[in-house]
Amino acid sequence: MKNQLKKHIKILQELGYEYIYTERGMKKNNLQEKIKKLEEINRIIQECKKCDLYKSRLQAVLGEGNPDAKLMFIGEAPGGDEDKQGRPFVGRAGKLLTRLIEATGHKRDEFYITNICKCRPPGNRTPTPWEMESCFPYLREQIDIIQPKVLCLLGATAARAFLVRHVSITKERGSVVNWENHLLYLTYHPAYILRNQNEEITLFEDIKKAIELAYS
């Protein structure tokens, strides 16, 4: 078999084929291209001045995780810890999200985690509609690059950015909505659970369902 493969490669080279891609090699090249594109978006958002949030941020926070993820977790904006570290969901709410993901038997880095807005609003206030609208194109580019099946929207603010309407997350959590060839799964933001700990099991079940939906 190995000798046949060598002969086949030699014939292809004689025919003028300079490079021969295996399926594994093509996947690796595709992954490297995705990483390169995400790095370019990160470079752009660090210099972004579309809205006034750049004036008070320490750094913009693109997101992190698997560029080939089938599932993206999307919150509203970075907080103080995220602003300092340049990583999404690393504060108390982020640690809760990580713990609940791991409780499903998965690892955080299997998925991609980001926010609607890439800069921290002063005092961790809710982003304004204009701030979200200004930043949404960056998120759309991330989605286009990663091509996840499911977008798990954490909290009402993230849901409003996609659905462009008022969202009552206590009434609509658990909903699945079709959006541009992706599925939106609506649930609570982990920060809400820190204030309402009796709902932690609900968020856990929602995360588990979003993962099942992504891999179905």
CATH of 25-215, one of 3.40.190.10, 3.40.50.720, 3.40.470.10, 3.40.1190.20: 3.40.470.10
DSSP state of 92: H
Confidence check: pLDDT of 4 > 70: no
What DSSP string runs through 131-180? HHHHHHHHHHHHHHHH--SEEEEESHHHHHHHH-S---HHHHTT-EEEET
Residue 14: predicted pLDDT = 62
Q: Does the pTM of the predicted model rise above 0.95?
A: no
Structure-token match 């996609």, residue found: 162
- Which one is predicted more confidently, 29 or 3? 29
The residue ranges of every structural domain in the chain are 25-215
DSSP state of 109: G
Residue 179: predicted pLDDT = 98
Tens-digit pLDDT profile for residues 139-167: 999 999 999 999 999 999 999 999 999 99
Tens-digit pLDDT profile for residues 95-148: 999 999 999 999 999 999 999 999 999 999 999 999 999 999 999 999 999 999
DSSP state of 181: T
